Structure 1
Amino acid sequence: MTDTSETRLADFEEHRRMVFGIAYRMLGSVADAEDLVQDTWLRWSQVAGQVASPGGYLARTVTNLALNRLDSAAVRRESYVGPWLPEPLVTEPDATDGVERAEAVSVALLVVLESLSPLERAVFVLKEAFGFSYPEIAEALDRTEAACRQVGSRARAHVRARRPRYDAPPELRRRATDEFLAACVGGDLNRMLELLAPDVTSWNDGGGVITAALRPVTGAEKVARFILGLLHKLGEGAAARPVLVNGEPGVLITVHGAVDSVSVFDFTRGPDGEPLISAIHAVRNPQKLAHLA
């Protein structure tokens, strides 16, 4: 390997997490994000040595590749069966490193980003997640700085209005998640109801590939009974364990060792100040869990 190729690779590796992070936030897909990392590398390998700012070039390249990919993704989403959720990034609770943890972004935020226009999403991701300036964003997207500022302001307002308003401390989220998992495994309906907000909503992404609710399930008792019914159908081969889902406490369920589903929770503040589960995002579509195998 020549010095030039070594430098080229070193510069790319220095920014690989950023490239993956932008692609994943834009697309909500681990597989598609990894594809774009490879596509970005191919383009970088052809121009390295001619670029003054590797980080800016790589961010611009992967963002525009993601915008192109979103055109075809939009068509697929229109025909998607049931609720669409992003592919989850899963790590062990004690994980302290790795691309997945470093570039994790909550499932709730990814769902909100999905409701933005592609341009709004690009501006929001580059500005809010990676700290690029508006002049840099304007150059990357071939827009005026004023236009990007306007788009960014609109995107921030949209996200702020739709994000969960209660950010429980991590230790409380972990404890509530563990207690809810124990109640589910133990079939303790009453304890489940104590941990669920009265208006809790469960979104279940099966993609038409595997059995899942085609519409959101709302209400504490309906959600609790739905979960218990699913666990009963999975049978004695099912096992559940706590994991980090996009950096937040979640649950991974396997059946005879094969990944069946990944769930993560949003929380609201209960009457006593303790967190209650206000939303459940559960991915069962095996195509979205293939990277966990």
Structure 2
Amino acid sequence: MTHEKLTMAQALNRALRDAMTDDPTVVVFGEDVGPLGGVFRVTDGLTAAFGEDRCFDTPLAESGIVGVAVGMAMNGMRPVVEMQFDAFAYPAFEQIVSHVAKMRNRTRGRVALPMVIRIPYAGGIGGVEHHCDSSEAYYAHTPGLHVVTPSTPGDAYALMREAVAAPDPVVFLEPKKLYWAKEEVALGPSASPVIGRAVVRRPGTDATLIAYGPSVPVALEAAEVADREGRSLQVVDVRSIVPFDDETVCAAVRATGRAVVVAEAPGFASVASEIAARVTERCFHSLAAPVRRVTGFDIPYPPPKSEHLYLPGVDRILDAVDDLQWEDS
């Protein structure tokens, strides 16, 4: 296994490149993913390397993109499709819910749909309307889909390699504001599964911050600030929303007795709500205070100049931690 210092966008590109090299049935298509290399250049160079039969542009028709992928997957291919932006994916939602998620069940296991739906998602880039959204709850609520979101370039590579090889459809949520984050990435097959596995990013003893995707760096920053103030916060990166790793998350919460869930999406009927419920059900006798949530507000995603008021930040996280301490006193 080799290591290279890559941005998240480069790590995703390398994962797709390696998957296409290893498996000729892997094809990549979507809006502007061909010669342009995608809006965020995640597919840069793939058309030149593999030809227009393996990486190609499609019309601006998300439902058609996913519908074609369904047919290809049913006939032995492994399509990887890009929705370009999170809120652009909604026209394809009927295909995803009615067909992608249900085909294995509908055929009593005889027909699988090994495909990846790539969705650049969430905020923090100053995007205009329809260009920033947090749609994870829609997909997580739909049985039959795996839903993952990396917070580091290393996880982006490992999750994408595993997603492409998976026998079931994977909704792959790529945090737009983390595309330029950079670190050493281990290249090659992962030694252990990453889908369905959470990871502790920072140890701590006083409370546990549970986050995923774009919220993980914010949680880590909050833990750094708390450390300077004499409080030790553990940070858990969920990274696989479905399937969810109850074992790792709950073990972390039991170790501290307090938990705060951090996510960009609105809090009502959210993934953050589900995590809080699961932790409460499984860790009730270990909790010294109710589980808190720090989320986006229950409003449509705001204009670019206001998103800093909407997104969970360090101060809001530490306020929630203070609330935990108060409950314990």
Which TM-score applies when normalising by structure 1?
0.26
Q: Greater helix share, 1 or 2?
A: 1
The structure with higher relative contact order (CA 8 Å, sep 6+) is 1
Q: Based on CA coordinates, which of the two structures has the bigger radius of gyration?
A: 1
